[in-house]
Structure 1
Amino acid sequence: MKTVREYVEAETLSLDDLKGALQLAMRLEFATIPPYLCAQWSVKNDPDRTEGVLHGIVSQEMQHFALAGNLLTAIGGLPSIANAAFLPAYPISELPGGIPQKLPVDLKPLTKDQLAVFMQIEYPEFPPIALAVEQRPATIGAFYDTISAAFKSLDPVIVQNAHAVDVPFANPIRSVTDAIDTIERIKSEGEGSQGSPDQPSGEGGGHAHYYLFKELFVQKRLVKVGDQWSFSGDPVALPEVYEFASSSAQPSPSVEFSRTLTRLLIHLEACWTAGDPVDVATMFQLKIAGQDLIKQGIRPEFRWDGGAL
């Protein structure tokens, strides 16, 4: 499988390349969900409703994952998520596709150190917060730009009756223009819009993920003073959290959680391959099982479990 850098540096992408890039996009979007979920589930006493902020971010990441799958089926591809290789083995030092992470991405409680990891994942590639232009690694934003450019250059046939997952406020993908708009939504909600940490266009859902995480990290709200944005608003109190760690007990106390996750991935894949409805009940079972483990001080293990088949 190609890396993000290989896709970004390619002069042109074939239709098969575009399908491969969208499958990789699904892996990238999913890789953020377990760390964000564990941080959300770790929240105990919450004076400033941080759990709600994390819930909103996780919900959008799930939507981005679903939108990437919808883009793939729209051009005749089939998502492959119901397998052990789809799941990252945390901690990871790079995101799927070879995007290096200086701070390892792991499953930990919500702390300032973990918020620094989350900010690293969502780091924008433009002012007012920008990476160095020279010799910078390929970013998630550049990767999505490459996918958008491929839709424009290839002008692929859009499958009008493709199986898709319904996503709030998302139009069905019926044209290349719809596909490009979908990609822009994923980008803007994650790292923000170019030029300012403004709200995602047309969604009214608040700041992009990077800036939401940074509000928690600096413990100040992001506000606009005149024409400038700054973290100088009301103070933010971080919540008290449950501490948790991996368990060496046998059998693993996380085995039922992993089996529930495996069933969920199987059912989700069937949404795109067979048109099945989203299995909301299993999603809630996973949440309850994960929260119960964390309250016991045990890390939920996001692993494939063949025993669930």
Structure 2
Amino acid sequence: MKTIREYVEARILSPDDLKGALQLAMRLEFATIPPYLCAEWSVRSDPDRTAAVLRRIVVQEMYHFALAGNLLTAVGGTPSVAHADFLPVYPADELPGGIPQQLPVDLRPLVKDQIAVFMQIEYPDFPPVARMEAPPATIGAFYDAIIETFRTSDPEIDPDALAVDVPHASPIRTVADAIETIERIKSEGEGVPGSPASPTGGATSHAHYYLFKELYVQKRLIKVGDAWEYSGAPIRLPEVHPFEPSTAEPDLSLEFRRTLTELMVNLESCWTTPGAAPDVSAMFGLKATGQDLIRRGVRPDFTWADA
């Protein structure tokens, strides 16, 4: 499988390369979800509603994962998510596609050090990164390469391809729809070029990087004159439930792993089976089981459960 740097440097030219990049985009978007979920589920006492920030970001990441799958089916591909190798292994010193991470990405409570990891994941693809002599391959540069391919190669779009319904997302029926979809994913994650002069990924919310930085500096990002500054109301970080991986027998995460596995099988079927839809009850079941584990001091195990 190609790395993100290979896609960025060589560009995406062939139909097979485009499908491979979109499958990688699904892996990349999914890889952020378990760390963000564990941080959200760890919150115990939350005076300034930090868990709500995590919840909003997790929902958007789930939408981005679904949108990447919709893009893949729109160009004739088939998402492959219902297998053990799709699930990331934590801790990780790189994101899928070979994006190096100086701070290991792991499943930890919502503490300041973990927020620094989340800022690293969502780091913007513009200054100061753009001023580096040998800038690393970034998520933003990867999505820019995909956008360029849609613009230059004009791939055939199947307007009737199976897709997951995503709120406020137009069906992908044209190349313009595909580009709009990718730009939504990119802007909601790291923002838009020129940030922090324009840190808003959407009409009413800052992009993920800036939401995490608000929590890290513990100040709201507000506009002062023509500039954005972290000088707003103070933010108190929550009290959290500590948790650790379990080595107990039997496997305390077995129910969680089974629910996760069933959910991944269900999600893949949404792109392969007409009439299939995401199992919302399984999503709530995963949350309830994960929160219960964390309250008992046990880290949820995001791994495949064989039948």
- TM-score band by shorter chain is over 0.9
Does the 8 Å CA contact 1:37/1:58 hold for their aligned counterparts?
yes
Shift of residue 130, structure 1, vs aligned partner: 3.9
Query: 2 CA distance for matches of 1:132 and 1:27?
Result: 28
Partner amino acid, structure 1, of 2:227:
Q
- The residue number in structure 2 matching 1:109 is 109
Partner of 1:231, secondary structure, is strand
CA distance in 2: counterparts of 1:184 and 1:136, whole angstroms:
21
Separation (CA, whole Å) in 2 of partners of 1:191 and 1:11:
21
SS in 2 for 1:221: strand
Q: Matched residues in 2 for 1:27 and 1:226: separation?
A: 40
Offset of residue 243 of structure 1: 0.4
Letter in 2 for 1:296: R
Query: Contact 2:219–2:233 (CA<8 Å) still a contact in 1?
Result: yes
Answer whether contact 1:7 1:13 (CA < 8 A) is retained.
no
Question: Which position in structure 1 is the counterpart of 2:87?
Answer: 87
Residues 76-105 of structure 1: per-residue CA shift (max 9 Å, x gap): 100000000001110000000000000000
Q: Match of 2:213?
A: 214
Q: Alpha-carbon deviation of 1:133?
A: 2.8
User: In the alignment, what sits opposite 1:246?
Assistant: 245
- Distance in 1 between residues matched to 2:76 and 2:185, nearest whole Å: 21
Letter in 2 for 1:164: A
Give the direction of change, closer, same or farther, for the CA distance of 1:263–1:205 in structure 2 (3 Å limit): farther
Question: Which secondary structure does the structure 1 equivalent of 2:104 belong to?
Answer: strand
Give yes or no for the alignment of 1:147 onto 2:139: no
Which residue is 1:178 aligned to?
A: 177
Could you tell me whether the CA contact under 8 Å between 1:170 and 1:182 is conserved in 2? yes
- CA separation of 1:11/1:96 partners in 2, compared to 1, >3 Å: closer, same or farther? closer
**Structure 1 Cα separation of the partners of residues 61 and 251 of structure 2:** 28
Per the alignment, do residues 131 and 291 of structure 1 end up closer, same or farther by CA in structure 2, a change over 3 Å counting? farther
Q: What is the Cα deviation at residue 158 of structure 1? A: 0.6
Q: Is the 8 A contact 1:185 1:200 kept in 2?
A: no
Identify if the C-alpha distance between structure 1 residues 200 and 177 changes in structure 2 by more than 3 Å, giving closer, same or farther.
Answer: farther
Amino acid at match of 2:21: A
Deviation at 1:207, TM superposition (A): 0.3
Shift of 1:290: 0.3
Structure 2: runs of 5 or more not aligned:
none
- For residues 117-168 of structure 1, the C-alpha deviation after alignment (integer angstroms, 9 at most, x for no partner) is 00000001214x5454311110000000000111111111110110001111
Cα pair 1:222 1:229 within 8 Å, conserved: yes
Match of 1:3 in 2: 3
Q: CA deviation at 1:11?
A: 4.3
**1:212 counterpart letter in structure 2:** L
Partner of 2:227: 228
Match of 1:272 in 2: 271
Identity %: 67
Q: Which residue of 2 aligns with 1:54?
A: 54
Return the offset for 1:12: 4.6
Residue by residue over 1:245-270, the C-alpha shift from the partner in whole angstroms, topping out at 9 and shown as x without a partner, is 00110111001101100000000000
Question: Is 1:74–1:173's contact at 8 Å kept on the other side of the alignment?
Answer: yes
| 2:27–2:96 contact (8 Å) kept in structure 1 | yes
Deviation of residue 214 (structure 1)? 0.4
Number of the residue aligned with 1:195: 194
- The alpha-carbon deviation at position 205 of structure 1 amounts to 3.6
CA distance in structure 1 between the aligned counterparts of 2:106 and 2:142, rounded to whole angstroms: 23
Alignment of structure 1 residues 26-45 onto 2, 5 Å = 26-45=26-45
Mapped to 2, the partners of 1:13 and 1:244 lie a distance apart of 45
Alignment coverage as a number of residue pairs: 305
- Greater strand fraction, Structure 1 or Structure 2: 2
Cα–Cα, structure 1 residues 44 and 11, in superposed 2: closer, same or farther, change >3 Å?
closer
Please report the RMSD computed on the Cα atoms of aligned residues, expressed in angstroms: 1.1
The residue type paired with residue 49 of structure 2 is: R
Q: Which runs of 5+ in 1 are unaligned?
A: none
- Alignment-mate amino acid for residue 50 of structure 1: T
Offset of residue 204 of structure 1: 2.6
Contact kept, 8 Å, 1:50 with 1:238, in 2: the verdict is yes
TM-score (norm 1): 0.96
Amino acid in the other structure paired with 1:68: A
1:5 Cα deviation from its structure 2 partner: 0.4
The secondary structure found in structure 2 opposite 1:233 is strand
Letter in 2 for 1:61: E
1:20 positional shift:
0.1
- TM-score normalised according to structure 2 size: 0.97
Residue of structure 1 in register with 2:286 after alignment = 286
In structure 2, distance between residues paired with 1:15 and 1:99: 23
Q: 1:261 maps to what in 2?
A: 260
Paired AA for residue 231 in structure 2: S
